[in-house]
Amino acid sequence: MKKYFKIALLVLIGGLFIWTFVFLYNKSKPKSKVFETVKPVIAGLEKSTVATGKVEPRDEILIKPQISGIVDEVYKEAGQMVKKGEVIAKVKVIPELGQLNSAESRVRLAEINYKQATVDFERIKKLYEGNLISREEFEKGEVSFKQSNEEYENAKDALDIVKEGITQKTASYSNTLIRSTIDGLILDVPVKAGNSVIMSNTFNDGTTIATVANMSDLIFKGKIDETEVGRLHEGMPVKITIGALQDYNFEAILEYISPKGVEENGANQFEIKAAITVPDSVMIRSGYSANAEIVLARSGQVLTVPESTLEFSNDSAFIWVMTDSIPQQKFEKRHVEAGMSDGIKIEIKKGLTAEERVRGMEKKDKK
């Protein structure tokens, strides 16, 4: 009995050993890989680049005062439309004491001279009417009287300008009334009533009363990397997308490429500008962030495959073409001539036909 038991035990151990050996052998055998296959597609390709930037009016006009003083009243605010010549604000002149004293002194002297000239002219007039002096002497006295009168009026006007910045004769041309120089939209009014303002001169730019822009003439202003700027030229079509207006795409024409690059984050960037066509029904605000897509190259209907299916070695491109699928997949490595790429698909010029299939990604076992 013990003999049969030992034999059975040895057979069991032997079977377990053989099963373990077979299991480990099968486990160690390399599994055959299964790949997805891709059929080439006839399609058109576009190679494009994207520049980031913002939308701005072509010209923003800074309205500045022609005199220094205090803002008396502000008639407009940001967001309002304004016509050329329309008053935006009024500036009250604060006279400089030296100029005020000089102007008042000039008025007093001119008044004295005018009164004396009036008395002298009345005397000459009576003498002329009595035929006691010649007409020539009378005309000289009349000219002298008119000159003293004109000087008196000018002195009073000069005093008004120093005190108020305006005269009665030139009220319609007053430089105390700050007017828009163009038709457009007021983008900003950085001053309030009571603020001091100074006129623009050699030593400073002056105080900005308002910023006005023509919002019907907009441009995209952005930057592009030096690796792609060489492919651009003025007149290229540009598609503008604005983050705040995601439902719209705007057509534009590239009109400016900077001749000088600026280094940013270790890369040379070149400024570009494109004129945007905006429908009347769309309101675009100055400073909107935007992207400009520029088509660098375009091909017709060509043979394409996913770029991920190609392998590159030095200047050569290779692709794995399926030669058999039964009982298992077989592929051969083939040299091909690649063409233009849009970053997803790439053109195959030579080495592949539309009927063949190429190796794609490896299929993963689902557990």
- Residue 184: the pLDDT is 92
pLDDT averaged over the chain? 83
Quick one: pLDDT band at residue 173, thresholds 50, 70, 90?
very low
282 compared with 32, residue with greater pLDDT: 282
Quick one: pLDDT band at residue 185, thresholds 50, 70, 90?
very high
Note whether 108 and 132 are within 8 A (CB).
no
Least confident of 41-50, 165-174, 345-354: 165-174
Q: Which amino acid belongs to residue 338?
A: A
With 70 as the cut, is the pLDDT of residue 175 above it? Answer: no
With 50 as the cut, is the pLDDT of residue 172 above it? Answer: no
User: CA nearest 303: which of 342, 262, 349?
Assistant: 349
Quick one: pLDDT band at residue 76, thresholds 50, 70, 90?
very high
- Residue 190: the pLDDT is 94
What percentage of the chain has pLDDT greater than the value 70? 85
Quick one: pLDDT band at residue 355, thresholds 50, 70, 90?
confident
With 90 as the cut, is the pLDDT of residue 159 above it? Answer: no
pLDDT in tens, 85-99: 999 998 887 766 677
364 compared with 193, residue with greater pLDDT: 193
Least confident of 17-26, 60-69, 201-210: 17-26
With 60 as the cut, is the pLDDT of residue 343 above it? Answer: yes
pLDDT in tens, 226-272: 888 888 989 999 999 998 888 889 999 999 999 999 988 888 999 99
pTM score over 0.85: no
Mean predicted confidence (pLDDT) in 166-185? 73
- Residue 270: the pLDDT is 93
With 60 as the cut, is the pLDDT of residue 171 above it? Answer: no
- Residue 86: the pLDDT is 92
- Residue 167: the pLDDT is 59
Q: Give the tokens for residue 107.
A: 């008025």
**Partner residues linked to 170 by β-bridges:** none
pLDDT in tens, 211-222: 999 998 999 999
Quick one: pLDDT band at residue 63, thresholds 50, 70, 90?
very high
Note whether 316 and 307 are within 8 A (CB).
no
With 90 as the cut, is the pLDDT of residue 312 above it? Answer: no
CB atoms within 10 A of CB 101: 12
- Residue 97: the pLDDT is 64
Note whether 322 and 331 are within 8 A (CB).
yes
Handedness of CA 300, 304, 308, 313 (dihedral sign): negative
The whole-angstrom distance between residue 234's C-alpha and the CA centroid of its chain comes to: 17
Handedness of CA 23, 28, 32, 34 (dihedral sign): positive
The whole-angstrom distance between residue 322's C-alpha and the CA centroid of its chain comes to: 51
Mean predicted confidence (pLDDT) in 334-345? 86
Mean predicted confidence (pLDDT) in 316-325? 86
Distance CA 198, CA 204 (A): 9
Residue 233: φ, ψ to 5° = -155, 155
Note whether 125 and 133 are within 8 A (CB).
no
Mean predicted confidence (pLDDT) in 309-321? 86
pLDDT in tens, 7-47: 766 667 766 767 666 556 555 555 567 778 888 888 888 88
Local structure of 316: helix, strand or coil: strand
